[in-house]
Amino acid sequence: MTMVEVPGEFTVPRRSWGDDEVFDREMQQIFRHCWQYVAHESEIPEPGDYVLRKMGRDQVIVVRDESGQVRVHLNTCRHRGVPLCRADSGNASHFRCSYHGWTYANTGELRGVTYQADVYGKGGLDKKKLPLFSPAQVDSELGLIFATWDPEAPSLRDYLGDILWYLQLIFGKHPNGMEVVGTPVRNIVKANWKTEGENLSGDGYHTTITHSSAFDLGLFATQKDLVKLADDVAPKFTGRTVDAGNGHTMRIQRLPLRLQGNHYFGYPKEMWAGFDRMLSPEQQQAMSCLSVGHGSVFPNMSFIENFKTNVDGPDLHARYARITVRYPIDATTSEQLWFFLAPKGADPEWARLSRLAYLRTNGPSGLFEIDDTENFVGISEASVGDVSRTLPVIIEGGKHHPEAPPELGWPGNVVDGDKTERTIRAFHRRWSELMDLPAGDAAGTGAAR
Ligand code: FES
Ligand SMILES: [Fe+2]
């Protein structure tokens, strides 16, 4: 591995975004051990409901068994390895292999072996010993289902730690819960799996540059829009970023409004009392006057709640929530899944506006995403050359930003200022710990947050 001279104390070698050797190590050191988001409970509400997902490069079936328990199974027959399930989603009490017909219950137990006596002799095969291979732990929080292959991994609650408080802001404030609307969209991106996560981790630095055409098209709230929302407009947007530990991060940007009390902009007023019931006073404060909130759960899940003015006519405001996950395919290719979530039982007209707002901005065909993806693809393309792969990237931004006042009561390490790269440093600090690479290749210690 090549040693590089690096400016500053926190850099990452660029080969991390396009090198097969690094990629293979990530699959072993990160994806074999970390909890990974696999599905939302609303996607499999009934016994037998299943969806096909991935953990790292392995395809898994996420299924609710007849007793209501959520199970996750590797989608491969224990006999000679044929995938058992070919449909993206459906309902099944059993999965039957298309090759020799072995049949498994949705609990994972092997129930039927065709021609068993002929092929294996009497007592020659013990079905009990051949259940589907399954992750060591499966659990959910706020309807978000995660799984890990590692029996030694901490509980999901401990793994999420402080980021759970922030996930509640988006996924835990609706008294009736949330549901995934429609089938998650999938697309293949010619970019390393890490690039979108770095961006969504809290990169408030790129917005006005990468997304300048979105400003030109009026996709962002302007001063004129904001004046209609409040009597007093503050001079500028303000933001905070959070290093929530374990590589999990969050960015919260506030609308530049001066107001008394909670104002959940973009939601119908009838929903506000419900949020006040579900959220602590500190969480209510974090969501009041929210412009955008986004973050990442290490390693490959990101989430965003955003707000759009003038969605389908002047003064129609709507907010939306989204989850994305990135499945690694190879060092410069990933598959991305997009989940649009809506509060259960929301007013249908507001729900329509919310979906429209999402589609135009942070949906798979939304302008923000097209702009961002150009950058992600570019990073991988420009990091595989014989010279470029030896260079570092520099993620030193925002080190001088002050810590937020502790009386704010937000968990994690919270800093005032959102044009920063500290959340990307937090991601790479965790990446580096797990990868355990030789000193010259590892990210800096990142002692300064
Ligand atoms: S490979 Fe599945 S039954 Fe043979
Ligand atoms: Fe962006």
Q: What's the CA-to-centroid distance between 337 and ligand 2, angstroms? A: 17
Instruction: Identify whether 94 is a catalytic site residue.
Output: no
CATH number at residue 60: 2.102.10.10
How far is Cα 361 from Cα 219, in angstroms, rounded to an integer?
A: 7
The reply to whether 125 and 195 lie within a common domain is: no
- Please confirm, yes or no, whether 294 is among the known catalytic residues: no
Domain check: are 301 and 436 in the same one?
yes
Q: What is the predicted pLDDT for the residue at 437?
A: 75
Q: Is the same domain home to 289 and 388?
A: yes
372 given a catalytic annotation: yes
Q: Using omega within 30 degrees of 0 as the cis cutoff, is the peptide bond preceding 175 cis?
A: no
Write down the pLDDT at residue 7: 46
Q: What pTM does this model have?
A: 0.94
Residue 327's pLDDT is what? Answer: 98
> With 80 as the cut, is the pLDDT of residue 209 above it?
yes
For residue 446, pLDDT beyond 90 = no
Is the confidence at residue 371, as pLDDT, over 60?
Answer: yes
In the residue annotation, 312 being an active-site residue is answered as: no
Full residue range of the structural domain in which residue 43 is found: 36-142
The enclosing domain of 260 has a CATH number of 3.90.380.10
Is 107 found in the same domain as 168? no
Q: Give the contacts of 223 (CB within 8 A, at least 6 positions apart).
A: 233
Of 97, 115, 120, the one to substitute when testing ligand 1's pocket (max ligand atoms within 8 A of C-beta) is 97
Query: Letter for the amino acid at 128?
Result: K
Which atom, in ligand 1's list, is nearest to the CA of 78? 2
For the chain, what percent of residues have pLDDT higher than 90?
Answer: 77
Higher pLDDT, 186 or 6: 186
Residue 195 CA to ligand 1 centre (angstroms): 38
Q: Are residues 199 and 242 in the same domain?
A: yes
Instruction: Tell me the ligand closest to 132's alpha carbon.
Output: 1
| pLDDT in the model for residue 402 | 94
Residues 299 and 346 in one domain: yes
Q: What is the pLDDT of residues 234-293, one digit of tens each?
A: 777 889 999 999 999 999 999 888 776 778 989 999 999 999 999 999 999 999 989 999
Spacing, Cα 81 to ligand 1 middle (Å): 6
* Mean pLDDT computed over 108-135: 96
Confidence of residue 442 (pLDDT cuts 50, 70, 90): low
Residue 363 and residue 266: Cα distance in Å, rounded? 17
CB 82 within 8 A of CB 76: yes
**What confidence tens digit (pLDDT) does each residue in 30-81 have?**
999 999 999 999 999 999 999 999 999 999 999 999 999 999 999 999 999 9
Say whether both 80 and 194 belong to one domain.
no
Return d(Cα 358, Cα 308) in angstroms, integer.
Answer: 8
Residue 20 counted as domain residue = no
Instruction: Enumerate residues lining ligand 1, CB below 6 A.
Output: 77, 79-80, 82, 97, 99-102
Decide if 21 is inside a domain: no
Note the ligand closest to the C-alpha atom of 112.
Answer: 1
Q: Which long-range contacts (CB under 8 A, 24 or more apart) does 45-52 make?
A: 46/91, 47/93, 48/91, 48/92, 48/93, 48/106, 49/89, 49/90, 49/91, 50/85, 50/89, 50/90, 50/91, 50/92, 50/106, 51/88, 51/89, 52/85, 52/87, 52/88, 52/89
| pLDDT for 441 | 61
189 found inside a domain: yes
Residue 190 predicted with pLDDT over 60: yes
How confident is the model at residue 294, as a pLDDT?
A: 98
Please tell me the distance between residue 97's alpha carbon and the centre of ligand 1 in angstroms: 6
Q: Tell how far the Cα of 373 is from the centroid of ligand 2, in angstroms.
A: 8
Do 101 and 43 sit in the same domain of this protein?
yes
Residue-wise DSSP of 131-179: PPP--SEEEEETTEEEEES-TTSPPHHHHHTTHHHHHHHHHS--TT-EE
How much is the pLDDT for 258? 75
6 assigned to some structural domain: no
| Atom 4 of ligand 1, residue of closest alpha carbon | 100
Query: Which tokens is 176 given?
Result: 């009736």
Classify residue 234 as exposed, middle or buried by CB count within 10 Å of its CB (0-12, 13-18, 19+): middle
Average pLDDT (81-95) is 97
The pLDDT of residue 413? 96
Is position 330 annotated as part of the catalytic site?
no
Please, what sign has the CA dihedral across residues 188, 194, 195, 201? positive
How close is the Cα of 313 to the center of ligand 1, in Å? 56
The total of structural domains in the chain comes to 2
Pair (102, 169) in one structural domain: no
Closest residue by CA, ligand 1 atom 3? 100
Q: Which helix (H) or strand (E) holds 409?
A: none
In b/e form, how buried is each residue of 263-279, taking b as 16+ CB within 10 angstroms? bbbbbeeebbebbbeeb
Q: Which of 75, 98, 99, 103 gets mutated to test ligand 1 (max ligand atoms within 8 A of its CB)?
A: 99
Mean pLDDT over residues 284-304, rounded?
Answer: 96
Helices (H) and strands (E) in the chain, counts: 13, 23
**Is residue 448 situated within a structural domain?**
no
Task: Give residue 28's pLDDT.
Answer: 97
Task: Among 113, 142, 171, identify where a domain stops.
Answer: 142
Q: Which residues contact 313 (CB under 8 A, 6 or more apart)?
A: none
Q: Which of 111, 142, 173 is the C-terminal boundary of a domain?
A: 142
Helix ranges restricted to H, 258-364 = 272-278, 281-287, 348-360
Testing ligand 1's pocket by substitution, the residue of 82, 96, 114, 115 carrying the most ligand atoms inside 8 A of its CB is 82
Q: Are residues 83 and 220 in the same domain?
A: no
Q: Considering 40, 73, 174, 211, which one is annotated as catalytic?
A: 211
Residues 109-138, mean pLDDT to the nearest whole number: 96
Residue 30 lies in a domain: no
Residues 57 and 184 in one domain: no
Atom from ligand 1 closest to the CA of residue 97: 2
pLDDT band at 84 (very low <50, low <70, confident <90, very high): very high
> Are residue 133 and residue 180 in the same domain, yes or no?
no
